Structure 1
Amino acid sequence: MRVVATAGHVDHGKSTVVRLLTGMEPDRWAEERRRGLTIDLGFAWTTLPGGEEIAFVDVPGHQKFVPNMLSGVGPVPAVMFVVAADAGWMPQSAEHLAALDALRIEHGLLVITRSDLADPEPALTEAKRRLAESSLASIPHVVVSGATGEGFDSLRAALSTLALPPPDTSADVRLWVDRSFSVSGAGTVVTGTLTAGTLRVGDELLLHDSSVTVRGLQTLGCKQDLVPAVARVAVSLRGVERDSVSRGDALLTPGRWLMSSTVDVTVPPELPSQMMLHIGSSAVPVHVRPLGTLAARLSLSRPLPLRIGDRVLLRDPGRGSVLAGASVVDLDPPVLKRRGAARARASEIASSTPAGLQRKFVHRDRLRAMGLPYGDAEWQVDPSHWKALRGRLVSEVDNWPPLQPGMPVAAALQRLEVPAALIGQLVTEAGLVIVGGRIQRPGGVALPKRVETALAELSRDLRATPFVAPEAKRLTQLGLGTRELAAAVRAGRLVKVADGVFLLPGTVELARRVLARLDQPFTLSQARQALRTTRRVAVPLLEMLDRMGVTERLADSTRTCP
């Protein structure tokens, strides 16, 4: 379906063109027909000669109704720009063109109407001159007369061949509501122009942070189970009160949009500080904070579902005129506190990298919600920041308090501000390991020099008498307290047999060889004598060997060692 806004003319000139094309009256209100003045949005549709359907959104032309006009042209991808031959280019023509140009609408058709009342050439020449300086510079034109019907076949043919970009029917839905009403048996119904995505009966959508269900769909007056973009669509909603939805609201694919109340934009310079932001059918007051010559920060009076690359229109509410178009470059901009931060931010915005990608870490779902390429990786990481983090992690681990079993993962997450899903990858790339929830070097935790010296002396004692564990007094003399001994065990330098009982690694194998030479089975006393140790060591050592399966305790408390 083709959806076209009709703009450019203040009175019934454009409405007459739509009416003759479609056989439908676009002016919905009696006052509009009585005054010959379009006040609100009008809607009509028809089938073109080639069989393609086309829908029209007829927008007001008078300056008093600029907000209504903008809510109509905002979501529409093309325009039929109407200029009357007998009136020529008018102030509202310039205003409509300014809005269309600010929104960068590039597709459309220039129609010179009422050609039976005046020579169309002057109006055509002036209109083409004006359009040449806008986004509509290359659109074709036709000349018609509503009174005689002249040119309408050419107009239908031109509309049939109107080149429009193909819609993305798989995109996330953002349907800007331009009308809402109640229908008996259907409940609350909203209408809008679906520019991307696909709607289906039964879909769950988001409205004001609440889930709503698509109860029914119509397009061009016909019920449908599925409506792909681009289309004019009426959506019957389940569980929605009529008063809870109005023009400017949006139906959204759940979980796919960010609601933004502060955005950075590229924009022409010297704007008023208080403006109205228009996007889709929505109009929101905003405060403008200039960041640089061509950048500004907009603070919205209420959050809107926006995406990076969205084109918005800014209007001075006092003057009522269109002043500028702006492009959204960041939906969650950084706070500006330091002196010169605004200028630095403007430089970032001017860079070729989208502002949403200037973050250190961005999750794939957030990239999608921003409207940016998101790829297959769960996280997108700034390469230079990632490289710096690897070095920082190694330094943090090496400087972690000695005698502790490495740096806790939770501490690393907090200090480095790394997403939890990425800590394993960072640890691996930094050449480290995670053991028991702590990050350390592969060889274990390095011991302080004083502990190494004490262990060297203790090792000499134990090599001479392997099963004579040092007494507490000896350990204290060497400066080996509870923390030092625990660190030595974690580092594999000692084996803890029991509280206060420490031996060298390899003692288990040595004990097995000694006990295997005894007559089997053997008693505790025989084992103690063979190992040349005391009961303080022999009892817990044999119990440890039992647990390890090196020895087996029999019913009579003797043991065997295969």
Structure 2
Amino acid sequence: MSEEPVRLEPAAEAPLHVVATAGHVDHGKSSLILRLTGIDPDRLAEEKRRGLTIDLGFAWCTLPSGREIGFVDVPGHERFVRNMLAGVGPVRLVLFVVAADEGWKPQSEEHLAIVDVLGADGGVVALTKCDLVDEEAVDLAIEDVRDRLRGTALQDAPIVRCSSQTGEGLDALVEALDAMVEAAADPAEDERPRLFVDRIFTVTGAGTIVTGTLTGGRLRVGQEVDLLPAGGRGRIRGLQTHKRSIQMARPVSRVAANLVGIDREGPGRGDVLGLPGEWRPTRVFEVRLRPVRGLAHPLTTRGAYKIYAGAAERGARIRFYETGELTDPEGCFARIRVSDPLVLDVHDRFVLREAGRRETVAGGVVLDADPPVRPGRAVHRRLDARERAARADLPSLLVSERGAVPASDLAILTGAQVSAIEGAERTGTWWVADRVFDQVRGALHAELAAFHEDHPLDEGLELARARASVVRSLQEAGSPGDVSVADAMLSTLFGSGRVVREGSIVRLASHMASLAGREEEAGRLVRAVAEAEPTPPTVDELTSAGFASDLIEAATRAGMLVRLSRDLVMTPGLVARAEALVRGSGNQGITVSAFREAMGTSRKYAMPLLEHLDQRKVTIRRGDLRFPREPASSG
């Protein structure tokens, strides 16, 4: 390979990939990246002075196939593992570096543990500094490295002997990198975008710049974006990848975004840039947790840990679901609570380090980023199902778990926009599991049927009571007892034709309130009112006289009586007489006093009569007078 790397033009639509380095300090990671790309990833003055990578460095090149890859060069020193984790966290392809002259070292082991628990999708091992040792030493180093990789995510990774000084093996290394990215899954461009921020700085005249790894979805110039969990909404003024200005950023790539509306103090390493409303930070989540191989001591619930997810670092406390400590190499289900919110997705991977010992102790995968407040007895079955589920199955699984889920939450918690879910029904802004819908529908039908049987003269239940019944049924089904989902389900039930809403009354479609069998009793009621007019008894007086309230309501609905107020009914004949009296006043109108005297009643009855005529728009009030409206109203 020549001294200067060949600068090929990237293929226009070739998938993009990012590769993170890993390996012990001073094993030649940065020198190798410089030789491969022509870009020195050590950007800090202190790094150049000390010859030691302290923070993340970045470079890129185009492979012979036309695929463009970016490199995140990470520090190898133990003191800077937290920086290493910020770089490797969002990346799934690894260039693992081991020096042939020194061989396997402590940070080689820790970096391998980190790569392993993060579940690298592909890797290449570069055995560097081969020019410093003889052929036998190189062969022994390769054999040792292969033994140490066995049983890890890098066990099948090719080991390429090379030297940054002489150029030996660099062509073979490029070929191995090309083969690795060719075998890697194409980035998910249709996902919701998430840019893991690892650098923030301000450029005079431009404003805030954030850089990071875009792992999925696309970002475009002009889009509104949210910075989470720091908070703040801004707009993308400009985008760059590999120092080229672009209109759209594609995954997986290193991206610099120039933001308008977000101050320098807002974002920090570990924040996430995404589209508004698509992500929700969390402080509690459920995981499958696995200890690193060869861990000398168990993980306990009393331990103080640091969690590294994406480019973020947080303090963490763990609750194991199976036991009080973790020793099983297969791991266990656990609940993690973090010191500050994280932006997580199902299937995200993370690393756990013990704060006191400053060593990597475990890693895992997120199974539920927004778990129930109480895990419940079915937690193992629920998490086992989630662990086995593909992403496409998550919407159905989530609705099945919770019974009812807002459509907006479904999109946030699963990243899916769906038009249909097997075993669920969309009602209003909610997705409701069929089993829950069936249970709620059956309970409401049963309650309405029982009410109609006990109160045949009543039209049905008050809407508020029907809503309360649905809320209760939802809670009994283990679903959110939310009024909004209850109203959405009621609307769907009304549309089915089996349940009817009339104003504030809910009834079964098959029910019609009827006086059948009680005609004689209703006749006595009407006579009792008519015989006392124009000063009839109040409703309370009628019920005290033995007339049931449901009979009074039924007679009113049947038109045998007219309700003037909550406590007053009159016969249609008396109401018609009052209407005729007002109409007869013509353009002169009539006062309350004159109306009262003409009707032969008191103000107690005259006012409800006139107000009833006002409400029916038979009359209109002007000052102290009532005038007839035109056209004449019947009834």
2:195 pairs with one of 168, 175, 200: 175
Deviations 1:79-114 (A, max 9, x none): 111111111111111111111111111212111111
> Does the aligned pair in 1 maintain the 2:22–2:76 contact within 8 Å?
yes
Shift of 1:335: 2.5
Q: Pick from 257, 272, 288 the counterpart of residue 300 of structure 2.
A: 272
Answering whether residue 352 of structure 2 is matched by residue 314 of structure 1, we say yes
Which of residues 501, 513, 522 in structure 2 aligns to 1:458? 522
CA distance in 1: counterparts of 2:519 and 2:142, whole angstroms: 98
The worse-fitting range, judged by mean Cα deviation, of 378-387 and 351-360 is 351-360
Change in Cα spacing, 1:319 to 1:478, as seen in structure 2 (3 Å) is same
Q: Secondary structure at the match of 1:386?
A: helix
Q: Which moved more, 1:356-365 or 1:419-428?
A: 419-428
1:268 alignment partner, SS class:
strand
Give how far 1:37 is off: 2.4
Q: TM-score, normalised by structure 2?
A: 0.72
Q: Return the alpha-carbon distance in structure 2 between the equivalents of residues 12 and 441 of structure 1.
A: 78
Q: Does 2:542 align with 1:480?
A: no
Matched, 1:243 2:265: yes
Shift of 1:496: 4.0
- What's the CA shift string for 1:258-299, capped at 9, x where partnerless? 211111212137523321111111001111112225111111
Report the secondary structure of 1:179's partner residue.
strand
Q: Taking structure 1 as reference, are residues 438 and 331 closer, same or farther at Cα in structure 2, changes over 3 Å only? A: farther
Structure 1 pair 167–412 and aligned structure 2 pair: CA distance change class (3 A): farther
Aligned to 1:191: 211
Q: Following the alignment from structure 1 to structure 2, what is the Cα–Cα distance between the partners of residues 197 and 215? A: 18
| Match of residue 216 from structure 1 | 238
Aligned to 2:498: 431
In 2: Cα distance, 1:332 partner to 1:90 partner: 39
Query: What corresponds to 1:526 in structure 2?
Result: none
| SS of aligned partner of 2:144 | helix
Q: Show the counterpart of 2:384.
A: 350
Letter in 2 for 1:138: D
CA displacement, residues 206-262 of structure 1 (integer Å, 9 cap, x when unaligned): 023321111111111111122111111111111232232221111121101121111
Q: Which residue of 1 aligns with 2:319?
A: 289
Q: Which amino acid aligns with 1:146?
A: S
Match of 1:14 among 29, 53, 69: 29
Amino acid at match of 2:509: P
1:123 counterpart residue number = 141
Q: What SS does structure 1 have at the residue aligned with 2:355?
A: coil
Q: 1:481 Cα shift? A: 5.1
Does 2:82 correspond to 1:67? yes
In structure 1, stretches of 5+ residues that fail to align are 509-534, 548-554
Q: 1-side partners of 2:508 and 2:290: how far apart?
A: 54
Whether the 8 Å CA contact 1:43–1:58 is kept in 2: the answer is yes
1:433-448 map, 5 Å: 433-444=500-511
Residues 315/394 of structure 1: CA separation in 2 closer, same or farther (3 Å cut): same
> In 2 relative to 1, CA 312–407 (structure 1 residues): closer, same or farther, beyond 3 Å?
farther
Amino acid at match of 1:394: H
Point out the more displaced range, 354-363 or 164-173: 354-363
SS in 1 for 2:445: helix
Taking the TM superposition and a 5 Å limit, the aligned residue runs for 1:36-55 are 36-55=51-70
Specify the alignment match of 1:96 in structure 2. Answer: 111
> Bigger CA drift: 435-444 or 193-202?
435-444
The 1:84–1:350 alpha-carbon spacing in structure 2 relative to 1, beyond 3 Å, is same
* CA shift for structure 1 position 500: 3.8
| Structure 2: distance between partners of 1:142 and 1:428 | 68
Distance 1:283 1:477 in 2: 74
Aligned to 1:532: none
2:49 aligned residue? 34
**Equivalence for 1:518:** none
CA distance in 2, matches of 1:124, 1:232: 32
Q: Structure 1's 29 and 445: CA in aligned 2 closer, same or farther, altered over 3 A?
A: same
Q: Does the CA contact (< 8 Å) of 1:77 and 1:195 recur in 2? A: no
Identify the residue that residue 163 of structure 2 maps to in structure 1.
145
Matched, 1:408 2:465: no
CA contact (8 A) 1:24 1:45 kept: yes
| Separation (CA, whole Å) in 2 of partners of 1:74 and 1:159 | 19
The CA deviation at 1:494 is 4.9
How far apart, CA to CA, are the structure 2 residues paired with 1:364 and 1:327? 25
* Cα distance in 1, alignment partners of residues 369 and 338 from structure 2: 11
Q: Verify the 8 A CA contact 2:530 2:570 in the aligned structure 1.
A: no
Alpha carbons 2:231, 2:266 under 8 Å: kept: no
The one-letter code of the counterpart of 1:222 is R
- In structure 1, the partner of 2:442 is 391
How much does 1:488 deviate? 4.4
> Is 1:200 aligned with 2:228?
no
Query: Counterpart of 1:130 in 2: which secondary structure?
Result: helix
> CA distance change for structure 1 residues 188 and 497 in 2, over 3 Å: closer, same or farther?
closer
Displacement after TM superposition at 1:427 (Å): 4.8
User: In 1, Cα distance between the equivalents of 2:519 and 2:49?
Assistant: 103
1: distance between equivalents of 2:316 and 2:467?
37
TM-score, with structure 1 as normaliser: 0.80
Shift of the 50–3 alpha-carbon distance from structure 1 to 2, 3 Å rule, reads same
Q: Does the 8 A contact of 2:497 with 2:509 survive in 1?
A: no
| 1:470 positional shift | 9.7
The size of the alignment, in residue pairs, is: 506
Query: 1:53: Cα distance to partner?
Result: 2.0
Quick one: structure 1 residues 212 and 130, their matched pair in 2 at CA, closer, same or farther if it must change by over 3 Å? same
Matched, 1:226 2:269: no
The residue aligned with 2:414 is: 371
- In structure 2, the gaps of 5 or more residues are 1-15, 292-297, 324-331, 420-425, 472-480, 577-599, 602-608, 617-627
Secondary structure of the corresponding residue to residue 267 of structure 1: strand
Letter in 1 for 2:184: L
- Tell me which moved more, 424-433 or 188-197: 424-433
Change (3 A) 1:115 1:485: same
C-alpha separation between the residues in 2 aligned to 1:500 and 1:188?
Answer: 73
- Structure 1: how far apart are the matches of 2:30 and 2:21? 8
RMSD of the TM alignment (CA)? 3.5
Q: Distance in 1 between matches of 2:572 and 2:252?
A: 79
